[in-house]
Chain A
Amino acid sequence: DTGVSQDPRHKITKRGQNVTFRCDPISEHNRLYWYRQTLGQGPEFLTYFQNEAQLEKSRLLSDRFSAERPKGSFSTLEIQRTEQGDSAMYLCASSFNSLSNSPLHFGNGTRLTVT
């Protein structure tokens, strides 16, 4: 069990630059989630995929944010024209969708710092 893998672990960028993060879920999991976590808060839902279909997007996901999961395996989250308010931990999680609920398995996150 290799778990959920996220790359990079840390990213420092200047305001206005674009950044892209990658997430590799647990291989048999068909659902993939992106969350954002800021200091003192719990993970905030951004979006999720079932296979390659993006099923829901949060209001937090402005038009500067885009996520893809082209082949239903790994996913990327891109932030364009970064702002200082985008500084946060970006967490990816995956789960196996079945008739019953199942817990999300999280990666260790990508910490973004926008200077």
Chain B
Amino acid sequence: DQQVKQNSPSLSVQEGRISILNCDYTNSMFDYFLWYKKYPAEGPTFLISISSIKDKNEDGRFTVFLNKSAKHLSLHIVPSQPGDSAVYFCAASTYNNDMRFGAGTRLTVKP
């Protein structure tokens, strides 16, 4: 059951521009949403999260937006840097921290 969906398998942006990664979910019981970043041969690394009581959370160049009515969240990276090139996973969990992941979006930031 694909409860978390990332419909764009890849995204390419120019250095300095904004990267926008999107994610949709179906389970209305999810109340905690996260983005993970993954480099080859490494496990996913936590990037940023947002609780369902908020609609925006910002951490430096990274901002996550949550639209509960649309069951949609997005990650904005601005300005994008070549070191941001990685696979980004969207994840969501319920109150018991049972976490589900999307299939990932490969971001390439071109110098």
Contacts and interface: CB of A to CB of B under 8 A. Distances in A.
Q: Do A and B bind each other?
A: yes
Interface of A: 4, 31, 33, 35, 40-45, 48, 55-56, 91, 93, 95, 97, 101-109
B interface residue count range (under 10 / 10 to 19 / 20 to 34 / 35 or more): 20 to 34
Q: Which 4 A-B residue pairings sit nearest by Cβ, starting from the closest?
A: A106-B43, A42-B101, A101-B32, A103-B46
Contact of A43 (B42, B45, B46, B89): B89
A104 B45 contact: no
B29 interface: no
Contacts of B93: 101
Contacts of B46: 103-105
A56 B98 CA distance: 9
Given A44-B101, A101-B31, A108 B51 contact: no
Contacts of B91: 42
A65 B6 CA distance: 28
A107 B45 CA distance: 9
A108 B41 contact: yes
A82 B9 CA distance: 30
B103 A40 contact: yes
B23 to A, nearest CB: 10
